[in-house]
Protein backbone atom coordinates (compact mmCIF):
# COMPACT_ATOMS: atom_id res chain seq x y z
CA UNK A 1 0.00 0.00 0.00
CA UNK A 2 1.08 3.56 -0.52
CA UNK A 3 2.67 5.32 2.43
CA UNK A 4 1.75 8.87 3.36
CA UNK A 5 4.03 10.55 5.88
CA UNK A 6 2.87 13.32 8.14
CA UNK A 7 5.65 15.67 9.12
CA UNK A 8 5.82 18.95 11.00
CA UNK A 9 7.15 20.62 14.11
CA UNK A 10 5.87 19.55 17.53
CA UNK A 11 2.43 20.96 18.35
CA UNK A 12 1.43 21.89 14.83
CA UNK A 13 -1.35 19.34 15.16
CA UNK A 14 0.07 16.18 13.66
CA UNK A 15 -1.61 13.82 16.12
CA UNK A 16 -4.93 15.61 15.83
CA UNK A 17 -4.87 15.32 12.07
CA UNK A 18 -3.63 11.74 12.31
CA UNK A 19 -6.56 10.87 14.56
CA UNK A 20 -9.07 12.58 12.34
CA UNK A 21 -7.79 10.78 9.28
CA UNK A 22 -7.72 7.37 10.89
CA UNK A 23 -10.67 7.48 13.24
CA UNK A 24 -13.33 6.35 10.83
CA UNK A 25 -12.04 2.88 11.43
CA UNK A 26 -13.67 0.96 14.21
CA UNK A 27 -11.64 -0.10 17.17
CA UNK A 28 -10.71 -3.74 17.33
CA UNK A 29 -11.05 -5.42 20.67
CA UNK A 30 -7.81 -7.22 21.02
CA UNK A 31 -6.57 -8.65 24.28
CA UNK A 32 -3.16 -9.52 22.82
CA UNK A 33 -0.63 -8.31 25.34
CA UNK A 34 2.16 -6.20 23.95
CA UNK A 35 -0.04 -4.51 21.40
CA UNK A 36 0.71 -0.87 21.82
CA UNK A 37 -2.07 1.66 22.24
CA UNK A 38 0.06 4.49 21.19
CA UNK A 39 0.40 3.84 17.52
CA UNK A 40 1.86 6.11 14.96
CA UNK A 41 0.60 4.52 11.81
CA UNK A 42 -2.70 3.23 10.58
CA UNK A 43 -4.56 2.41 7.44
CA UNK A 44 -6.79 5.19 6.13
CA UNK A 45 -9.63 4.71 3.72
CA UNK A 46 -11.14 7.54 1.74
CA UNK A 47 -13.45 7.20 -1.25
CA UNK A 48 -12.37 3.74 -2.40
CA UNK A 49 -8.70 4.49 -1.93
CA UNK A 50 -6.55 3.47 0.96
CA UNK A 51 -3.08 4.15 2.24
CA UNK A 52 -0.92 3.80 5.32
CA UNK A 53 -0.58 7.04 7.22
CA UNK A 54 2.52 7.45 9.34
CA UNK A 55 3.04 10.17 11.91
CA UNK A 56 6.80 10.45 11.65
CA UNK A 57 6.85 12.77 14.64
CA UNK A 58 5.67 9.85 16.70
CA UNK A 59 8.24 7.49 15.30
CA UNK A 60 11.03 9.89 16.02
CA UNK A 61 11.78 9.16 19.66
CA UNK A 62 12.95 12.64 20.43
CA UNK A 63 9.36 13.85 20.16
CA UNK A 64 8.69 17.05 22.03
CA UNK A 65 12.00 18.54 21.12
CA UNK A 66 11.62 21.72 19.17
CA UNK A 67 14.95 21.55 17.48
CA UNK A 68 15.02 21.98 13.77
CA UNK A 69 17.03 18.75 13.64
CA UNK A 70 14.02 16.71 14.56
CA UNK A 71 11.82 17.85 11.70
CA UNK A 72 14.80 17.67 9.40
CA UNK A 73 15.24 13.98 10.09
CA UNK A 74 11.51 13.39 9.69
CA UNK A 75 11.61 15.13 6.36
CA UNK A 76 14.60 13.14 5.17
CA UNK A 77 13.02 9.88 6.20
CA UNK A 78 9.74 10.76 4.59
CA UNK A 79 11.55 11.80 1.46
CA UNK A 80 13.21 8.43 1.40
CA UNK A 81 10.36 6.11 2.25
CA UNK A 82 7.00 7.71 1.67
CA UNK A 83 4.97 8.13 -1.50
CA UNK A 84 3.30 11.35 -0.45
CA UNK A 85 4.43 13.83 2.18
CA UNK A 86 2.09 16.07 4.15
CA UNK A 87 3.95 18.98 5.66
CA UNK A 88 1.84 20.46 8.40
CA UNK A 89 2.30 24.14 9.25
CA UNK A 90 0.74 26.10 12.10
CA UNK A 91 -1.40 29.13 11.24
CA UNK A 92 -1.62 30.25 14.84
CA UNK A 93 2.12 30.26 15.40
CA UNK A 94 2.89 31.52 11.94
CA UNK A 95 6.11 30.82 10.14
CA UNK A 96 9.32 30.06 12.01
CA UNK A 97 12.82 29.57 10.61
CA UNK A 98 12.53 25.78 10.80
CA UNK A 99 9.61 25.96 8.37
CA UNK A 100 11.70 27.69 5.74
CA UNK A 101 14.42 25.17 6.25
CA UNK A 102 12.20 22.15 5.82
CA UNK A 103 10.47 23.62 2.77
CA UNK A 104 13.89 24.23 1.28
CA UNK A 105 14.82 20.65 1.94
CA UNK A 106 11.61 19.26 0.49
CA UNK A 107 11.98 21.37 -2.62
CA UNK A 108 14.89 19.18 -3.58
CA UNK A 109 13.19 15.80 -3.25
CA UNK A 110 11.27 14.09 -5.97
CA UNK A 111 8.13 13.41 -4.01
CA UNK A 112 4.54 14.48 -4.02
CA UNK A 113 4.21 17.04 -1.27
CA UNK A 114 1.14 18.69 0.17
CA UNK A 115 1.76 21.88 2.12
CA UNK A 116 -1.00 22.07 4.72
CA UNK A 117 -1.70 25.05 6.94
CA UNK A 118 -3.47 23.84 10.07
CA UNK A 119 -5.50 25.63 12.76
CA UNK A 120 -7.55 27.67 10.36
CA UNK A 121 -11.00 27.12 11.74
CA UNK A 122 -13.21 28.69 9.11
CA UNK A 123 -13.34 30.81 5.96
CA UNK A 124 -13.39 34.06 7.92
CA UNK A 125 -9.94 33.27 9.33
CA UNK A 126 -8.53 32.01 6.11
CA UNK A 127 -7.56 35.27 4.45
CA UNK A 128 -5.72 36.77 7.33
CA UNK A 129 -4.00 33.67 8.67
CA UNK A 130 -3.00 32.19 5.37
CA UNK A 131 -1.40 35.26 3.88
CA UNK A 132 2.04 35.04 5.55
CA UNK A 133 2.49 31.49 4.30
CA UNK A 134 2.68 32.59 0.67
CA UNK A 135 6.11 33.82 1.54
CA UNK A 136 7.29 30.21 1.44
CA UNK A 137 6.82 30.30 -2.30
CA UNK A 138 5.07 26.96 -2.52
CA UNK A 139 1.69 26.34 -4.04
CA UNK A 140 -0.98 25.31 -3.54
CA UNK A 141 -1.43 25.80 0.17
CA UNK A 142 -4.04 23.52 1.67
CA UNK A 143 -6.09 24.85 4.52
CA UNK A 144 -7.43 22.70 7.30
CA UNK A 145 -8.60 22.64 10.86
CA UNK A 146 -7.58 19.25 12.17
CA UNK A 147 -9.56 19.98 15.28
CA UNK A 148 -12.76 21.37 13.76
CA UNK A 149 -12.82 19.59 10.42
CA UNK A 150 -12.78 22.73 8.29
CA UNK A 151 -11.19 21.94 4.91
CA UNK A 152 -10.73 18.31 5.83
CA UNK A 153 -12.70 16.67 3.02
CA UNK A 154 -11.08 18.89 0.40
CA UNK A 155 -7.66 17.98 1.72
CA UNK A 156 -8.45 14.26 1.68
CA UNK A 157 -9.73 14.48 -1.89
CA UNK A 158 -6.56 16.26 -2.91
CA UNK A 159 -4.43 13.74 -1.07
CA UNK A 160 -5.86 10.60 -2.62
CA UNK A 161 -5.41 12.14 -6.04
CA UNK A 162 -1.68 12.18 -5.38
CA UNK A 163 -1.45 8.50 -4.47
CA UNK A 164 0.43 6.34 -6.93
CA UNK A 165 -1.67 3.91 -8.94
CA UNK A 166 -2.21 0.63 -7.12
CA UNK A 167 0.17 -2.08 -8.23
CA UNK A 168 -1.54 -4.94 -10.01
CA UNK A 169 -2.12 -7.74 -7.52
CA UNK A 170 0.37 -10.57 -7.70
CA UNK A 171 -0.90 -13.78 -9.15
CA UNK A 172 0.47 -16.35 -6.81
CA UNK A 173 -0.14 -20.09 -6.89
CA UNK A 174 -2.74 -21.20 -4.34
CA UNK A 175 -1.49 -21.68 -0.81
CA UNK A 176 1.67 -19.67 -1.35
CA UNK A 177 3.34 -18.98 1.98
CA UNK A 178 4.26 -15.32 2.03
CA UNK A 179 7.31 -14.68 4.18
CA UNK A 180 8.69 -11.18 4.79
CA UNK A 181 12.25 -10.69 6.00
CA UNK A 182 12.41 -7.71 8.30
CA UNK A 183 15.13 -6.13 10.35
CA UNK A 184 17.48 -3.24 10.59
CA UNK A 185 19.81 -2.41 7.75
CA UNK A 186 22.85 -4.73 7.63
CA UNK A 187 21.37 -7.38 9.86
CA UNK A 188 21.76 -9.81 6.97
CA UNK A 189 18.37 -9.97 5.27
CA UNK A 190 19.71 -10.05 1.73
CA UNK A 191 22.47 -12.46 2.65
CA UNK A 192 19.90 -14.81 4.15
CA UNK A 193 17.63 -14.65 1.17
CA UNK A 194 20.54 -15.20 -1.20
CA UNK A 195 21.52 -18.24 0.77
CA UNK A 196 18.00 -19.62 0.57
CA UNK A 197 17.74 -18.96 -3.14
CA UNK A 198 21.12 -20.55 -3.73
CA UNK A 199 20.30 -23.68 -1.76
CA UNK A 200 19.75 -27.06 -3.30
CA UNK A 201 16.32 -28.12 -4.48
CA UNK A 202 14.96 -24.61 -4.41
CA UNK A 203 13.26 -23.67 -7.65
CA UNK A 204 13.24 -19.95 -8.13
CA UNK A 205 10.94 -18.11 -10.49
CA UNK A 206 10.94 -14.41 -11.16
CA UNK A 207 8.05 -12.36 -9.86
CA UNK A 208 6.81 -9.40 -11.76
CA UNK A 209 5.04 -7.62 -8.93
CA UNK A 210 8.11 -6.30 -7.19
CA UNK A 211 7.26 -3.09 -5.40
CA UNK A 212 9.21 0.01 -4.68
CA UNK A 213 9.73 -1.12 -1.10
CA UNK A 214 10.80 -4.68 -1.54
CA UNK A 215 11.96 -7.36 -3.89
CA UNK A 216 9.96 -10.55 -4.12
CA UNK A 217 11.14 -14.01 -5.00
CA UNK A 218 8.88 -16.94 -5.68
CA UNK A 219 10.28 -20.31 -4.62
CA UNK A 220 9.09 -23.86 -4.82
CA UNK A 221 10.42 -26.35 -2.38
CA UNK A 222 9.01 -29.80 -1.73
CA UNK A 223 5.68 -29.09 -3.44
CA UNK A 224 5.12 -25.85 -1.62
CA UNK A 225 5.30 -22.31 -2.91
CA UNK A 226 6.88 -19.51 -0.97
CA UNK A 227 7.00 -15.82 -1.67
CA UNK A 228 10.06 -14.30 -0.06
CA UNK A 229 9.74 -10.57 0.50
CA UNK A 230 13.08 -8.84 0.96
CA UNK A 231 12.56 -5.40 2.43
CA UNK A 232 16.22 -4.55 2.00
CA UNK A 233 16.00 -5.40 -1.65
CA UNK A 234 16.08 -2.00 -3.14
CA UNK A 235 19.30 -0.31 -2.26
CA UNK A 236 19.37 3.41 -2.18
CA UNK A 237 22.23 5.40 -3.45
CA UNK A 238 22.09 8.25 -0.96
CA UNK A 239 24.34 8.53 2.03
CA UNK A 240 21.34 9.22 4.22
CA UNK A 241 20.33 5.57 4.47
CA UNK A 242 22.63 4.82 7.38
CA UNK A 243 21.26 7.53 9.58
CA UNK A 244 17.69 6.68 8.83
CA UNK A 245 17.77 3.27 10.34
CA UNK A 246 14.86 3.92 12.61
CA UNK A 247 12.69 4.67 9.64
CA UNK A 248 13.28 1.31 8.01
CA UNK A 249 10.10 0.71 9.92
CA UNK A 250 8.11 2.30 7.11
CA UNK A 251 9.23 -0.38 4.72
CA UNK A 252 8.47 -3.02 7.30
CA UNK A 253 4.91 -1.74 7.64
CA UNK A 254 4.20 -2.07 4.01
CA UNK A 255 5.73 -5.57 3.78
CA UNK A 256 3.79 -6.68 6.85
CA UNK A 257 0.57 -5.94 5.05
CA UNK A 258 1.21 -8.63 2.52
CA UNK A 259 2.85 -11.46 4.40
CA UNK A 260 1.71 -14.41 6.48
CA UNK A 261 4.92 -14.90 8.38
CA UNK A 262 7.29 -12.17 9.47
CA UNK A 263 10.86 -13.32 9.88
CA UNK A 264 12.50 -10.70 12.06
CA UNK A 265 16.26 -10.85 11.87
CA UNK A 266 18.39 -9.78 14.81
CA UNK A 267 22.12 -9.27 15.05
CA UNK A 268 23.82 -11.63 17.51
CA UNK A 269 26.70 -9.27 18.07
CA UNK A 270 24.74 -6.08 18.48
CA UNK A 271 21.90 -7.60 20.45
CA UNK A 272 18.35 -6.34 20.52
CA UNK A 273 17.70 -2.65 19.91
CA UNK A 274 14.69 -0.46 20.52
CA UNK A 275 14.04 -0.59 16.81
CA UNK A 276 13.92 -4.39 16.80
CA UNK A 277 11.43 -4.35 19.65
CA UNK A 278 9.26 -1.96 17.71
CA UNK A 279 9.27 -4.05 14.57
CA UNK A 280 8.37 -7.12 16.62
CA UNK A 281 5.52 -5.16 18.21
CA UNK A 282 4.22 -4.15 14.79
CA UNK A 283 4.19 -7.76 13.59
CA UNK A 284 1.81 -8.53 16.43
CA UNK A 285 -0.39 -5.48 15.87
CA UNK A 286 -0.87 -6.80 12.38
CA UNK A 287 -1.48 -10.31 13.65
CA UNK A 288 1.31 -11.93 11.70
CA UNK A 289 3.05 -15.17 12.54
CA UNK A 290 6.58 -14.52 13.70
CA UNK A 291 9.94 -16.25 13.54
CA UNK A 292 12.99 -14.72 15.18
CA UNK A 293 16.31 -15.31 13.47
CA UNK A 294 19.35 -14.37 15.46
CA UNK A 295 21.87 -13.93 12.66
CA UNK A 296 25.67 -13.62 12.64
CA UNK A 297 25.86 -16.41 15.19
CA UNK A 298 29.30 -17.19 13.76
CA UNK A 299 30.56 -14.04 15.44
CA UNK A 300 29.60 -15.28 18.88
CA UNK A 301 30.17 -18.99 18.23
CA UNK A 302 32.91 -19.29 20.83
CA UNK A 303 31.34 -17.09 23.42
CA UNK A 304 28.87 -19.06 25.50
CA UNK A 305 28.31 -16.23 27.88
CA UNK A 306 27.39 -13.79 25.15
CA UNK A 307 25.11 -16.36 23.53
CA UNK A 308 23.17 -16.81 26.72
CA UNK A 309 23.08 -13.08 27.28
CA UNK A 310 21.48 -12.42 23.91
CA UNK A 311 18.82 -15.05 24.33
CA UNK A 312 17.93 -13.73 27.78
CA UNK A 313 17.85 -10.21 26.46
CA UNK A 314 15.34 -11.21 23.82
CA UNK A 315 13.17 -13.06 26.32
CA UNK A 316 13.10 -10.00 28.53
CA UNK A 317 12.51 -7.39 25.86
CA UNK A 318 9.68 -9.11 23.99
CA UNK A 319 7.98 -11.46 26.45
CA UNK A 320 4.71 -11.09 24.53
CA UNK A 321 6.02 -13.20 21.65
CA UNK A 322 7.08 -16.19 23.70
CA UNK A 323 5.35 -18.39 21.13
CA UNK A 324 7.61 -17.31 18.28
CA UNK A 325 10.22 -19.89 17.25
CA UNK A 326 13.75 -18.58 17.59
CA UNK A 327 16.61 -19.85 15.46
CA UNK A 328 20.26 -18.98 15.73
CA UNK A 329 21.76 -18.79 12.27
CA UNK A 330 24.59 -17.51 10.17
CA UNK A 331 23.75 -16.34 6.70
CA UNK A 332 27.48 -16.21 6.10
CA UNK A 333 28.38 -19.81 6.97
CA UNK A 334 24.98 -21.35 6.45
CA UNK A 335 24.82 -22.51 10.04
CA UNK A 336 21.28 -23.22 11.24
CA UNK A 337 19.59 -22.26 8.04
CA UNK A 338 18.38 -25.77 7.17
CA UNK A 339 16.02 -25.56 10.13
CA UNK A 340 14.29 -22.53 8.72
CA UNK A 341 12.03 -24.20 6.17
CA UNK A 342 10.70 -26.91 8.46
CA UNK A 343 9.91 -24.19 11.00
CA UNK A 344 8.21 -22.00 8.40
CA UNK A 345 6.12 -25.02 7.38
CA UNK A 346 5.09 -25.81 10.94
CA UNK A 347 4.23 -22.20 11.70
CA UNK A 348 2.19 -21.85 8.53
CA UNK A 349 0.17 -24.97 9.31
CA UNK A 350 -0.77 -23.56 12.69
CA UNK A 351 -1.36 -20.08 11.34
CA UNK A 352 -3.89 -21.32 8.80
CA UNK A 353 -5.48 -24.11 10.84
CA UNK A 354 -9.25 -24.25 11.21
CA UNK A 355 -11.27 -26.07 13.84
CA UNK A 356 -14.86 -27.30 13.96
CA UNK A 357 -17.13 -25.54 16.42
CA UNK A 358 -18.07 -28.75 18.21
CA UNK A 359 -14.44 -29.44 19.12
CA UNK A 360 -13.97 -25.88 20.27
CA UNK A 361 -17.02 -26.04 22.49
CA UNK A 362 -15.77 -29.24 24.10
CA UNK A 363 -12.47 -27.53 24.75
CA UNK A 364 -14.16 -24.53 26.36
CA UNK A 365 -16.44 -26.69 28.55
CA UNK A 366 -13.42 -28.66 29.68
CA UNK A 367 -11.38 -25.59 30.44
CA UNK A 368 -14.19 -24.08 32.49
CA UNK A 369 -14.71 -27.35 34.39
CA UNK A 370 -11.04 -27.42 35.37
CA UNK A 371 -10.84 -23.87 36.58
CA UNK A 372 -14.05 -22.07 37.39
CA UNK A 373 -14.45 -18.58 36.05
CA UNK A 374 -14.32 -15.65 38.44
CA UNK A 375 -17.30 -13.90 39.98
CA UNK A 376 -18.00 -10.50 38.52
CA UNK A 377 -20.44 -8.07 40.09
CA UNK A 378 -21.89 -10.83 42.27
CA UNK A 379 -22.51 -13.10 39.35
CA UNK A 380 -20.49 -16.07 38.30
CA UNK A 381 -19.16 -15.62 34.84
CA UNK A 382 -20.74 -18.03 32.36
CA UNK A 383 -19.50 -19.05 28.97
CA UNK A 384 -22.04 -20.14 26.39
CA UNK A 385 -20.15 -21.11 23.31
CA UNK A 386 -17.14 -20.48 21.17
CA UNK A 387 -16.36 -20.56 17.49
CA UNK A 388 -13.52 -19.73 15.15
CA UNK A 389 -13.83 -16.34 13.56
CA UNK A 390 -10.86 -16.59 11.24
CA UNK A 391 -7.44 -18.01 10.69
CA UNK A 392 -4.26 -15.98 9.99
CA UNK A 393 -4.00 -15.64 12.93
CA UNK A 394 -6.33 -18.18 14.51
CA UNK A 395 -9.03 -16.03 16.10
CA UNK A 396 -11.85 -17.32 18.26
CA UNK A 397 -14.84 -15.63 19.72
CA UNK A 398 -16.04 -16.63 23.18
CA UNK A 399 -19.59 -15.71 24.20
CA UNK A 400 -20.26 -15.09 27.85
CA UNK A 401 -22.73 -13.36 30.14
CA UNK A 402 -20.22 -10.61 30.83
CA UNK A 403 -17.16 -10.12 28.68
CA UNK A 404 -15.99 -7.37 31.02
CA UNK A 405 -15.70 -9.86 33.84
CA UNK A 406 -13.09 -11.98 32.06
CA UNK A 407 -10.12 -10.46 33.81
CA UNK A 408 -6.62 -10.78 32.50
CA UNK A 409 -5.53 -13.87 34.37
CA UNK A 410 -8.58 -15.82 33.26
CA UNK A 411 -8.04 -14.65 29.68
CA UNK A 412 -4.52 -15.92 29.88
CA UNK A 413 -5.71 -19.21 31.31
CA UNK A 414 -8.13 -19.68 28.43
CA UNK A 415 -5.58 -18.66 25.80
CA UNK A 416 -3.22 -21.28 27.19
CA UNK A 417 -5.92 -23.94 27.16
CA UNK A 418 -6.75 -23.13 23.56
CA UNK A 419 -3.09 -23.26 22.64
CA UNK A 420 -2.61 -26.65 24.26
CA UNK A 421 -5.91 -28.12 23.18
CA UNK A 422 -5.54 -27.06 19.55
CA UNK A 423 -1.81 -27.51 19.19
CA UNK A 424 -1.26 -23.83 18.46
CA UNK A 425 1.92 -23.25 20.38
CA UNK A 426 3.94 -21.34 17.78
CA UNK A 427 1.64 -18.63 16.48
CA UNK A 428 -0.26 -15.65 17.83
CA UNK A 429 -3.75 -16.63 18.93
CA UNK A 430 -6.63 -14.30 19.59
CA UNK A 431 -9.62 -14.76 21.82
CA UNK A 432 -12.34 -12.18 21.52
CA UNK A 433 -14.81 -12.06 24.37
CA UNK A 434 -18.34 -10.99 23.58
CA UNK A 435 -21.59 -10.64 25.45
CA UNK A 436 -24.41 -12.86 24.46
CA UNK A 437 -27.61 -10.91 24.27
CA UNK A 438 -29.80 -11.97 27.16
P1 LIG B 1 20.60 -6.37 4.94
O2 LIG B 1 20.80 -4.91 4.88
O3 LIG B 1 19.81 -6.77 6.15
O4 LIG B 1 20.09 -7.00 3.71
O5 LIG B 1 22.06 -7.01 5.24
P6 LIG B 1 23.09 -7.70 4.22
O7 LIG B 1 22.59 -9.06 3.87
O8 LIG B 1 23.42 -6.78 3.12
O9 LIG B 1 24.36 -7.92 5.17
C10 LIG B 1 25.06 -6.84 5.74
C11 LIG B 1 26.48 -7.22 6.08
O12 LIG B 1 26.51 -8.23 7.09
C13 LIG B 1 27.22 -7.79 4.89
O14 LIG B 1 28.54 -7.31 4.93
C15 LIG B 1 27.18 -9.30 5.13
O16 LIG B 1 28.27 -9.96 4.55
C17 LIG B 1 27.23 -9.37 6.63
N18 LIG B 1 26.56 -10.59 7.14
C19 LIG B 1 25.33 -11.05 6.82
N20 LIG B 1 25.04 -12.19 7.49
C21 LIG B 1 26.12 -12.47 8.25
C22 LIG B 1 26.45 -13.53 9.17
O23 LIG B 1 25.70 -14.46 9.43
N24 LIG B 1 27.66 -13.45 9.79
C25 LIG B 1 28.53 -12.45 9.55
N26 LIG B 1 29.71 -12.48 10.19
N27 LIG B 1 28.27 -11.44 8.69
C28 LIG B 1 27.09 -11.44 8.05
**pLDDT (tens digit per residue) in 212-268:** 556 788 898 888 999 998 886 444 444 444 445 555 666 787 788 889 999 999 999
Angle at 216 between CA 196 and CA 179, to 5 degrees: 65
Contacts of 162 (CB under 8 A, 6+ apart): 84, 112, 114
180, 181, 183, 191: which to mutate for ligand 1, most atoms within 8 A of CB? 191
Ligand 1 neighbours (beta carbon < 6 A):
183, 185-191, 232, 295-296, 298-299, 330-332
Residue 65 marked as a ligand binder: no
Q: Which of 17-31, 130-144, 382-396, 422-436 comes out lowest in average pLDDT?
A: 17-31
Q: How close is the Cα of 102 to the center of ligand 1, in Å?
A: 34
What domains can be seen in the chain, in order of their start residue?
3-162 (3.40.50.300), 177-352 (3.40.50.300), 357-435 (3.30.300.20)
| 339-354: pLDDT as tens digits | 999 999 999 999 999 9
- In the chain, how many H helices and how many E strands? 13, 18
Contacts of 225 (CB under 8 A, 6+ apart): 172, 173, 175, 176, 177, 218, 219
181, 182, 185, 186: which to mutate for ligand 1, most atoms within 8 A of CB? 186
| 271-321: pLDDT as tens digits | 998 889 988 998 998 899 999 999 999 999 999 999 999 999 999 999 999
Q: Give the predicted TM-score (pTM) of the model.
A: 0.80
Amino acid sequence: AAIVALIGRPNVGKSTLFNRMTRSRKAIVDPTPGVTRDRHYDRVEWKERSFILVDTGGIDERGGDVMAGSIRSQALAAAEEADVILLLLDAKQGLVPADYEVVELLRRVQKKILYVVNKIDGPEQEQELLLPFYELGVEPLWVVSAEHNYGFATLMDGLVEQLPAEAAPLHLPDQTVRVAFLGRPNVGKSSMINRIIGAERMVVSPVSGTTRDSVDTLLSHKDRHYLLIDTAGIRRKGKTTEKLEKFSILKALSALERCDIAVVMLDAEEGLTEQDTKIIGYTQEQGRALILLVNKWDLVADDRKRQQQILEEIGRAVPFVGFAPLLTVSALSGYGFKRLFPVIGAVYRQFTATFPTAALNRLLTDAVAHHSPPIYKNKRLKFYYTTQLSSRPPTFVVMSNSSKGVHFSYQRYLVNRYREGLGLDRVPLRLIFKDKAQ
